[in-house]
């Protein structure tokens, strides 16, 4: 079932989104060579709880942490560990969710560890471009296929591929609600979007082939060919025009793109 949110409910989600933005910016600034992924998790969890919110990943279907930390060829759902120490030249996806006053926010970004190759930086930038291309399509009257095609076309134009086995999702009282927000598709096809829908668009872009494998811990997802992957996600509210990015407060769309 798809739940449409009222302006008051979207205002509550905006507060959750703004808090998550602050949390992720602080965790992002803590990324450097020598830091463990568990230290990043603990920082995220402390920031969330200190603000009076709850980490929504912790315990979700048994997930053991508050932050997903996915390094290099790991696409998503990496479990933070004291033994996993960040090394110069890697990239790491930081994916976090929280619930504030009953409303969820979910966002991810990928950051370089120290100095990284130009190709890694391009992968990160293109993944963000994929998000914005998809989000630009997220208007009332458009379709899920409009978003998916925009994401995948942007990846392909850059020589990368869009992972198909994982998706974005509706979000609200629950972290994962309907509809499924595919990262590929055909413009004009699929569910039609309506004002008041709140969704998370989260491109997962591989430098090589998009096929992925699940790791033995039952959570981690890695590219089958071992190529690096990047992830970028925001929670957004759909209206007649361009969407509001609830986890990127103050973002103003440029109308000319």
Residues near Mg ion (CB under 5 A) are 95, 106, 108, 200, 202, 233
Choose between 89 and 148: whose C-beta lies nearer to Mg ion: 148
Residue 231 Cβ vs Mg ion, minimum distance, rounded to whole Å: 8
Choose between 128 and 225: whose C-beta lies nearer to Mg ion: 128
DSSP the chain: -PPPPPHHHHHHHHHHHHHHHHHHHHHHHT--TT-BHHHHHHHHHHHHHHTT-EESSTTGGG---SEEEEETTEEE-PPP-TT-B--TT-EEEEEEEEEETTEEEEEEEEEE-SS--HHHHHHHHHHHHHHHHHHHT-STT-BHHHHHHHHHHHHHHTT-EE-SS--EEE-SSSSSEEEEE-SS--TT-SPBP-TT-EEEE--EEESS---EEE-TTSS-EEETT---EEE-BEEEE--SSSPEETTSTT----TT-
Residue 49 Cβ vs Mg ion, minimum distance, rounded to whole Å: 19
Choose between 20 and 206: whose C-beta lies nearer to Mg ion: 20
Choose between 38 and 201: whose C-beta lies nearer to Mg ion: 201
Residue 169 Cβ vs Mg ion, minimum distance, rounded to whole Å: 6
Choose between 130 and 188: whose C-beta lies nearer to Mg ion: 130
Residue 79 Cβ vs Mg ion, minimum distance, rounded to whole Å: 14
Residue 70 Cβ vs Mg ion, minimum distance, rounded to whole Å: 11
Choose between 142 and 169: whose C-beta lies nearer to Mg ion: 169
Residue 235 Cβ vs Mg ion, minimum distance, rounded to whole Å: 8
Query: Cα(82)–Cα(96) distance, rounded to whole angstroms?
Result: 18
Query: Cα(156)–Cα(1) distance, rounded to whole angstroms?
Result: 32
């Amino acid at each position: 079932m798809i739940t449409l949110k009222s302006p008051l409910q979207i205002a509550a989600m905006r507060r959750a989104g703004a808090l998550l933005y602050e949390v992720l910016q602080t965790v992002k600034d803590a990324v450097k060579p020598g830091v463990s992924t568990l230290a990043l998790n603990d920082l995220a969890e402390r920031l969330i709880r200190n603000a009076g919110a709850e980490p929504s990943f912790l315990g979700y279907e048994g997930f053991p942490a508050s932050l997903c930390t996915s390094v290099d060829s790991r696409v998503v759902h990496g479990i933070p560990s004291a033994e996993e120490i960040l090394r110069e030249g890697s990239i790491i996806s930081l994916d976090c969710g929280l619930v504030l006053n009953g409303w969820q926010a979910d966002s991810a970004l990928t950051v370089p560890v120290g100095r990284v190759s130009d190709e890694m930086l391009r992968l990160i930038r293109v993944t963000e471009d994929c998000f914005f291309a998809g989000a630009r399509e997220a208007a009332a009257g458009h379709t899920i296929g409009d978003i998916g095609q925009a994401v995948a076309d942007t990846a392909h134009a850059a020589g990368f591929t869009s992972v198909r086995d994982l998706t974005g999702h509706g979000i609200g009282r629950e972290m994962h609600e309907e509809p499924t927000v595919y990262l590929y598709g055909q413009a004009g096809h699929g569910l039609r979007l309506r004002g008041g829908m709140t969704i998370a668009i989260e491109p997962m872009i591989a430098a090589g082939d998009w096929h992925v494998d699940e790791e033995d811990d039952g959570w981690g997802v890695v590219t089958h060919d071992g190529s690096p992957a990047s992830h970028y996600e925001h929670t957004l509210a759909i209206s007649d025009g361009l969407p509001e990015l609830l986890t990127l407060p103050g973002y103003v769309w440029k109308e000319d793109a």
